[in-house]
């Protein structure tokens, strides 16, 4: 990404941390995105207790590790850009609280469901798990839409909007797009892990969700440039950034080709490429702004005016990089250990 004019050591470090935050968020979206998608489809694709146990077994060994990427992102935001953390968490306090409750609801539902072998016990937990996952996929998109469109805060950093303001048409469109993308990502993951009828349903669902994603992508692209014309600024200044939206387009174009050939792993990777390309393109378009102001562009929080002191950024870098590497190694080991399709046995946890 191009550095702002006259950038110094602080701006360079701010840019590095901007890239780290974008990478952590992309990692979270790709990894936790598929288990949110599995959850959102839980009540529709998996219809019997055995099928729902397979769905939960597909994400059971990995879902909590996937959420560590979000926790790391929040901690990194607080460390590198404390002003952004303060403004965002004060202005979005209610939706962030809702997200926290939904995350807890998912975790409790996954862990509690199997404790009692009774449909009257398992049924409500299935609903909690599915509804929480669906709302999270939707709300993450709504939050992203509000950031792209800009946030109304004054010179002191106080949020000037109401909760109803956050549910604006553009943010809701991004939310629907997020739900379609992540649900399709989850359906493709189920195709990797399930067999039989559940596999067939997930396969059909992935095709329908791909069509919805493609239609919403066209509408969202037009809406984004209407709401925020400056999104194209960095791509014009640095044409090499065009590789990011090209990655998303390639994933979107190739996914149905692999889908028809039942190349499920390749189709899943295409789905991941769409998420990576879209989020990376959004980050590249927003840079150097972290939290744009919709009231006055001069009030926007950027890598230059919101970063912690260079010494703190450097110290944080020395701790964050080894921590993220350990997380990545841990997840590689876990994914390799639980590779293959889910087989339910007598000792199955779910």
Please state the pTM of the whole predicted model: 0.93
- The SS3 call for residue 291 is strand
Q: With beta carbons less than 8 A apart as the criterion, state whether 36 and 182 touch.
A: yes
How far apart CA 290 and CA 305 sit, in angstroms, is 10
- Give the H or E element holding residue 99: helix 93-112
**Six-digit token string for 186:** 């989850």
Q: Give pLDDT, residue 4.
A: 46
Specify the 3-state DSSP secondary structure of 149: helix
Backbone angles phi and psi of 152, in degrees to 5: -80, 100
Torsion over CA: 93, 98, 99, 103 (sign): positive
Closest CA to 84 of 347, 330, 314, 292: 292
Taking Cα atoms as reference points, which of 268, 143, 288 lies closest to residue 209?
Answer: 268
pLDDT, averaged in runs of 10, over the chain (350 residues): 51 92 97 96 94 93 93 94 87 86 94 87 94 96 92 72 78 96 97 95 96 96 93 93 96 96 96 97 95 84 91 91 93 92 67
Cβ contact 3:87 at 8 Å: no
- Distance separating alpha carbons of residues 322 and 327, to the nearest angstrom: 9
Structure tokens that stand for 346 in this block: 């007598």
- Can you tell me whether residue 73 is helix, strand or coil? helix
């Amino acid at each position: 990404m191009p550095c702002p004019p006259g950038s110094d050591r602080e701006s360079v470090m701010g840019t590095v941390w901007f890239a780290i935050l974008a990478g952590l968020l992309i990692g979270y979206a790709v990894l936790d995105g598929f288990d949110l998608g599995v959850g959102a489809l839980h009540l529709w694709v998996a219809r019997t207790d055995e099928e729902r146990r397979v769905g939960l077994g597909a994400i059971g060994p990995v879902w909590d590790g996937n959420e560590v990427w979000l926790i790391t992102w929040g901690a990194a935001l607080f460390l590198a850009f404390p002003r952004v953390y303060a403004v965002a968490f004060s202005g979005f306090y209610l939706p962030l609280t809702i997200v926290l409750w939904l995350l807890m609801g998912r975790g409790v539902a996954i862990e509690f469901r199997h404790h009692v072998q009774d449909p009257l016990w398992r049924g409500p937990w299935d609903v909690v798990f599915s509804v929480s996952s669906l709302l999270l996929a939707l709300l993450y998109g709504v939050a992203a839409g509000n950031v792209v469109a800009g946030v109304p805060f004054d010179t002191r950093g106080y949020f000037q909007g109401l909760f109803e303001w956050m549910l604006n048409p553009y943010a809701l469109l991004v939310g629907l797009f997020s739900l379609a993308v992540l649900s399709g990502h989850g359906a493709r993951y189920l195709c990797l892990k399930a067999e039989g009828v559940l596999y067939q349903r997930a396969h059909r669902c992935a095709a329908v969700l791909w069509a919805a994603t493609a239609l919403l992508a066209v509408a969202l692209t037009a809406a984004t440039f209407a709401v925020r014309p400056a999104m194209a600024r960095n791509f014009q200044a640095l044409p090499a950034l065009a590789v990011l939206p090209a990655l998303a387009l390639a994933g979107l174009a190739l996914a149905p080709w692999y889908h028809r050939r039942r190349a499920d792993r390749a189709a899943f990777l295409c789905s991941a490429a769409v998420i990576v390309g879209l989020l990376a393109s959004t980050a590249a378009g927003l840079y150097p702004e972290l939290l744009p102001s919709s009231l006055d562009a001069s009030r926007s929080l950027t890598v230059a005016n919101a970063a912690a002191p260079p010494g703190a950024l450097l110290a944080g870098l020395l701790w964050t990089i080894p921590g993220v590497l350990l997380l990545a190694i841990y997840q590689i080991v876990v994914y390799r250990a639980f590779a293959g399709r889910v087989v339910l046995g007598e000792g199955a946890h779910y």
